[in-house]
Amino acid sequence: MENGIIENGEKERSDGSSRHKVQPEQPAPLTWQRKLSSEGRTPLQFNLTLQEKLHLAPIGVRLWHHSKVEAVHGRDTIFDFTKKRHITGHQGVPLGGIGAGSIGRSYRGEFQRFQLFPKVSEDVPILANQFSVMVSRPNGKKFSTVLCPRTTKMAKESAGSGTEFWDWNLNGDKCTYHALFPRAWTIYDGEPDPDLRIVTRQLSPIIPHNYKESSFPVSVFTFTVSNQGRTSADVSLLFTLVNSVGGVSGFSGGHFNSNMETSDGIHGILLHHRTANGHPPVTFAIAAEESSDVHISKCPSFLISGSSHAFTAKDMWYEIKKNGSFDHINRNDNLAPSEAGSSIGAAIAASVVVPPGSVRTITFSLAWDCPQVRFGDNVYYRRYTKFYGTNGDAAAKIACDAILEHAQWESQIDTWQGPILHDRRLPSWYPVTLFNELYYLNSGGTIWTDGSPPVRNLLSGQVKFSLDQAKLGLKNVVGNDTAVEIIERMASTLSRIHGPVTSNTAFGTCLLQDGEENVGQFLYLEGNEYLMWNTYDVHFYSSFALVMLYPKLELSIQRDFAAAVMLHDPQRRKIMSDGKWVPRKVLGAVPHDIGLNNPWFEVNAYNLFNTDRWKDLNPKFVLQVYRDFIATGDLNFAKAVWPSVYIAMAYMEQFDKDGDGMIENEGFPDQTYDAWSVTGVSAYCGGLWVAALQAASALACEVGDTASGNYFWIKYQKAKVVYDKLWNGCYYNYDNSGSRASASIHADQLAGQWIARACGLLPIADNDKVRSALEKVFEFNVSQMKGGTRGAVNGMLPDGRIDMSAMQSREVWPGVTYSLAASMIQEGLMDMAFQTAAGIYEAAWSEKSLGFSFQTPEAWNENDEFRSLCYMRPLAIWAMQWALSKPKLFGQEIQNQESEESQYFSHHTCFSKIASLLKLEDEPPKSFFQILYECTCRRLAS
């Protein structure tokens, strides 16, 4: 069965019982594969319908004007309308660890997508960044080629760079790329010499539960050369690198290279890059290991382009091709900086004689050192500087250490991946996709700091306040010991947050208890096109990858948001959907994101809608906090963030308009589907709310607040009854507004049930209803979307037509499909789950894919057009692994509780008074023209 669990009679994979030492020339047993000659499919960008253009036009106009205003002040906006993106379908496993910058590589061998600075992605390949090989035989036969196939476009780009004189002879049909993140292998079978087999293995130190090496900005390339001929082969492998951080940066001048001091037989070259536009400097190191068999030689600098009499790219190529090394060139340790308008590179060569029937191994490394992260006037240091210092002179040491230690790294990676690769329950595509979706931990613009406050900090002139400043006299209005105790605990927590540097910020490190490890703070973008850090409604899905692989980073993110809940920032900002000015962030609301231009100090970069009125953020916070507690058993964490959980729940009380225990949506896109309006009680937000009430009750009991635990439990029971009214006999309605969209079959309607089961909570719906709804979604949203080959479309009408009422209703969201599949696994519908998720594999990762590999987008539509490449949410495939692995959960067993109504009403009085302090101002009624405009859009939709 291709898309399901392997059944009797199907070919089984080895159980891996006879494990052997990892061999770098041997790809993993399951990998993503492409021939280097494969052209790939260029992804198609999405187009809006007329209705969608009309609906989004006012937002678009305001966004365009807003971006112009921000640009004047040197600030970025969440969308960059001016950037022309370089889109290809050739992506492969990227280079580097987590949070220290990233350099992408294509499966063809190109170095591209340079992400070395926050929010900057230079996607175009740098042609001269290459590995190459030269071979000579005693009989006079010679072979030479760049280890990257040449294309017509490449030939045009190389004109005038000197690389047009290099030998681009590789036959890509004979070369196969294998990818299993964080490793990749390329097998050159008889290329360029028909009697040689060359295998290169690329490795980056991304190792689960490793908070040291995983942060290193380095990759190692091990070449295994097998001589299958009858004569010896003189082989020279060449690594060339341009002194550039991508784009046109190599031409800005002032860059220089220098020889690296030899250590432990490792030789190398340093490329010192003088950056522009306020970015910190970067130093690259390329290195290779010398041995009794391998000789290393270097060309510290050559001219790639520009007018000069220096040693050129052409000269460099002819030298290595003629002599097999750089031993005959004049080495100059005092190399002059590059001139403006010219670019320079460096080359290191490893030469080896391979006797007939023998194998030789050569190891290279690429490292970079850019210790600073700058956000305006705030300067942070990256996590790896804890181990290599902050002076910016560590590239050589990182490159050397990687060569010496990479075998141990690979062994640890193999130990991690092996059990999943050999799990007989799984279809072969699943482990490959599971690991390769982790590319986003490297390529998602990730930043991992050392956890220290910024070196320089200019506080805002506006006065922000928090609960400890607003609580004066609270005891007089809150006549309940439990509520007062929580308020006092919140004040105690906040007093530690509000130090001189972290005052009025979302710095969760100050919630660490004495003796707890500070592993730093973590940022990753919502997407390479959607520039917001740690977008929380999306992180809800992707966080399963972090909690399973790097739980301490997940807790760090949660502490930041716990601190942000307590933050009130009155700075006014304009909302793009209606033009209104609102506070940046109000007390009690979970922010949409941790910011953009000045993260932690200015949260909520998102400004399409006022997310203080969103209905999913607060429940998602409560649910993730509880999940992370039961996953780690960290009671100190639970106690530190519990006050924020309580306040987050109290804040939501204002959205229960009729007092029935259930929150209501307010007729605009007030949740993660931010182009799909919802009104009244909804399956998505309503289900999350029911689950959050149960999670809040369970967490309260864990931290010793029994009264609050009983209170939230009764509210959970009340809300569950209301949620059940959405049931229509087959599935849960989108909402209860009675509109045309109300009956839409929402792929994500059981999000609350999914997360509740994932957290070890009780089901929020009856089992027969859950199975019926999942079967309905599979029958309609999955199976009727291109025959089940594209995943689950978000909205499907009961008559089998795609819901075209909104842009997002007609889209497939890979991350949502993965979470849907996880829910199916939890309910025992294994075959259905893998058939559902297989649609994402077919669209994004298969041989016939849409070109989305290693850049999985947020969405695609019925026309196979994508929206937002390289996106956070598809990391949700790890929710499937969470469901499959059934991890050990800490905490007390959840059981139905009996609570006295008198206790409920006593606590409710106090809870309501706290909630009233957090209540937002009522929204003014819509104008006549706004109502007319919305009616026109709805008529067009129908």
Quote the CA–CA distance of 810 and 818 in Å, as a whole number: 17
Between 146 and 489, the more confident residue is: 146
State pLDDT tens for residues 80-128. 877 888 999 999 999 999 999 999 999 999 999 999 999 999 999 999 9
The residue whose two tokens read 């030479």 is 144
The dihedrals phi and psi of 567, each to the nearest 5 degrees, come to -90, 140
Whether 901 has a pLDDT exceeding 90, the answer reads: no
**Mean pLDDT in residue range 656-684:** 96
Q: How many CB atoms lie within 10 A of CB 664?
A: 24
Whether 931 has a pLDDT exceeding 60, the answer reads: no
Whether 4 has a pLDDT exceeding 60, the answer reads: no
Contact (Cβ atoms closer than 8 angstroms) between residue 279 and residue 117? yes
pLDDT of 157 reads: 58
**Mean pLDDT in residue range 764-791:** 97
- Residue partners of 362: CB distance under 8 A and separation at least 6: 222, 223, 225, 237, 288, 289, 294, 350, 352
pLDDT of 621 reads: 98
Q: What proportion of the chain, given as a percentage, has pLDDT over 70?
A: 88
**Mean pLDDT in residue range 766-787:** 97
Quote the CA–CA distance of 184 and 227 in Å, as a whole number: 22
Whether 464 has a pLDDT exceeding 70, the answer reads: no
Quote the CA–CA distance of 776 and 344 in Å, as a whole number: 60
| pTM as predicted | 0.92
- Residue partners of 163: CB distance under 8 A and separation at least 6: 127, 128, 304, 313
Q: How many CB atoms lie within 10 A of CB 633?
A: 12
The dihedrals phi and psi of 373, each to the nearest 5 degrees, come to -120, 125
pLDDT of 498 reads: 46
State pLDDT tens for residues 831-873. 999 999 999 999 999 999 999 999 999 999 999 999 999 999 9
Rg of the chain over all Cα atoms, to the nearest angstrom: 29
Confidence of residue 150 (pLDDT cuts 50, 70, 90): confident
Torsion 813-814-818-824 (CA) sign: positive
Quote the CA–CA distance of 206 and 96 in Å, as a whole number: 8
Q: Which amino acid is at 128?
A: A
Q: What proportion of the chain, given as a percentage, has pLDDT over 90?
A: 78
State pLDDT tens for residues 227-236. 999 999 999 9
Confidence of residue 499 (pLDDT cuts 50, 70, 90): very low
The residue whose two tokens read 């799990």 is 423
Whether 728 has a pLDDT exceeding 90, the answer reads: yes
**Structure tokens of 908?**
């409710």
Q: Kind of pairing, strands 447-448 and 522-523?
A: antiparallel
Q: Kind of pairing, strands 218-227 and 196-203?
A: antiparallel
State pLDDT tens for residues 259-298. 998 888 999 999 999 998 889 999 999 999 999 999 999 9
Using alpha carbons, select from 456, 527, 439 the residue that is nearest to residue 182.
439
366, with CB counted inside 10 A (0-12, 13-18, 19+), is: buried
Q: Which amino acid is at 261?
A: E
The residue whose two tokens read 């607040």 is 705
Using alpha carbons, select from 134, 220, 62 the residue that is nearest to residue 607.
62
Using alpha carbons, select from 938, 886, 941, 937 the residue that is nearest to residue 54.
937
Whether 821 has a pLDDT exceeding 90, the answer reads: yes
**Mean pLDDT in residue range 150-168:** 74
**Mean pLDDT in residue range 370-386:** 95
**Mean pLDDT in residue range 545-558:** 98
Whether 497 has a pLDDT exceeding 70, the answer reads: no
pLDDT of 500 reads: 47
State pLDDT tens for residues 862-891. 999 999 999 999 999 999 999 999 999 998
Quote the CA–CA distance of 816 and 684 in Å, as a whole number: 12
